[in-house]
Amino acid sequence: MVLRFLALNVLSWLLLLANVHAASIIWTNTVFRTNIESDGITNFTDAWVFELGTFVTLPTDTEEFIPTEENRSEWAAHWVRLDTSTYSTVVGLNFYTNNTNLESNAAPFVVGARAYVWGYSSTSANAEWILLTDEDWLYPEVIDTNGVPSIETTNFDLRFNSDSIAITGSLDPGGRGPETEDGGDSTAILMQSAPSSGNTGPGDRSFTDWLQQNFSLLELSDPLISGPLADPDGNGLSNLIEYAFFFDSRNGSLTQSESTLPNTGVALARDSSDPSIVNASFIKPFNTTDLEYTFQVSSDAVTWTDIDAASLSRISISSPFAGAETVTLRDIKQIPGLETVGLVRVRVTLVNGSATPVIAFTP
């Protein structure tokens, strides 16, 4: 049987926070160098993706989790991404780079936590990987103990030096050393990847991954705590809704767990370029594998209809912060029947393979 619960509040107005503070992090590698895969021949291509993040210790772990070659099959379950960059070969630059904002020191990005960069050629089991870190790659303080926000930029640079290490793959396999930085030698190999050896990469996430990051082994065995429609923190939102819309799963908060931005489920807001236009939007995790989202509209809060095919062209996707996507349905008054009164919600479906899908609705 498909289980449902009614929306707590089908209409919410978008709240904007003023003076949101963030620490700036620039992460990149030396340009104009050669980066090759494990066969020693194939160069990294534009299909490569690099993620900045860190590893967390799960409630089911018996000790602190530190990534090693021996536990690489467990990396994906312990990985929390802060930012993503695609690799670029344009004009021989051969680099990944991005400037991201760390908006708070909420776990796992606490002050002094070790940063890692995970590069991969694909998320399949036969991918190539490289996992990088450095003793100086530590997440900075966003706001100090006196309440003063950070104004400094933190750099996580990958260069020919002895402080950076590759946990899988290798750095400077040709042994060129630090002097290569100034030598302009484009044949110098900076990174060489290694086979993933059948392990799944970090790109896609599932409800199971989310549960393992948030619940203990005992809690995972109790469907009243970790089931998709359970509400263990008592905030009126099921685990499925908290997973699907970036709510914090453990403290009853109605704030997105990876951002200082408020989370209201579906938000209605007037368009910044034309106040007569009303847009509907929601925030979701990036790269989930088992969720389906559908905008629904109603004029009476009783009968709900999936938006018509013509309205699909008005859906856009943007990235409000690392690891998330904002999905926006623009100008809802143009949808037939919603010219004067428009109610919008999102149906989210958890697809469990052969199991009956679980359905819930946004607050």
Do the Cβ atoms of 307 and 295 come closer than 8 Å?
yes
- How sure is the predictor about 234, in pLDDT bands with cuts at 50, 70 and 90? confident
d(C-alpha 28, C-alpha 32), whole Å? 12
* Chain centroid, CA 125 distance in Å: 20
- Burial grade of 274 (CB within 10 A; 0-12, 13-18, 19 or more): exposed
pLDDT for residue 281: 83
d(C-alpha 24, C-alpha 198), whole Å? 35
Instruction: Looking at mean pLDDT, say which of 84-98, 231-245, 270-284 comes out highest.
Output: 84-98
The half-sphere exposure of 66 on its side-chain side, counting CA atoms within 13 A, is 6
Q: What does the DSSP assignment read for 327-339?
A: EEE--GGGSTT-S
Query: What's the predicted TM-score (pTM) here?
Result: 0.63
pLDDT for residue 259: 40
Mean pLDDT of the chain: 79
d(C-alpha 103, C-alpha 166), whole Å? 27
* Torsion sign, CA atoms 146, 149, 150, 151: negative
- How sure is the predictor about 321, in pLDDT bands with cuts at 50, 70 and 90? low
Report the percentage of the chain scoring pLDDT > 90: 29
- Other CB atoms within 10 A of residue 223 CB: 10
pLDDT for residue 64: 94
d(C-alpha 285, C-alpha 2), whole Å? 23
Q: List the chain domain ranges.
A: 23-195, 207-361
Coil/strand/helix, residue 90: helix
Do the Cβ atoms of 295 and 313 come closer than 8 Å?
no
Average pLDDT over residues 247-264: 51
Those residues whose C-beta lies under 8 Å from the C-beta of residue 270, and which sit 6 or more positions away, are 276, 277, 278, 279
pLDDT for residue 320: 59
DSSP character for 69?
S
Beta-sheet pairing, 34-36 with 97-102: unpaired
pLDDT for residue 40: 93
- Burial grade of 116 (CB within 10 A; 0-12, 13-18, 19 or more): buried
Average pLDDT over residues 71-78: 87
Average pLDDT over residues 51-77: 90
d(C-alpha 185, C-alpha 175), whole Å? 13
Span 184-213, pLDDT tens digits: 566 789 999 999 887 777 766 788 878 877
pLDDT for residue 94: 95
pLDDT for residue 178: 58
- Look at residue 99 and tell me whether its pLDDT is greater than 60: yes
pLDDT for residue 11: 27
Report the percentage of the chain scoring pLDDT > 70: 78
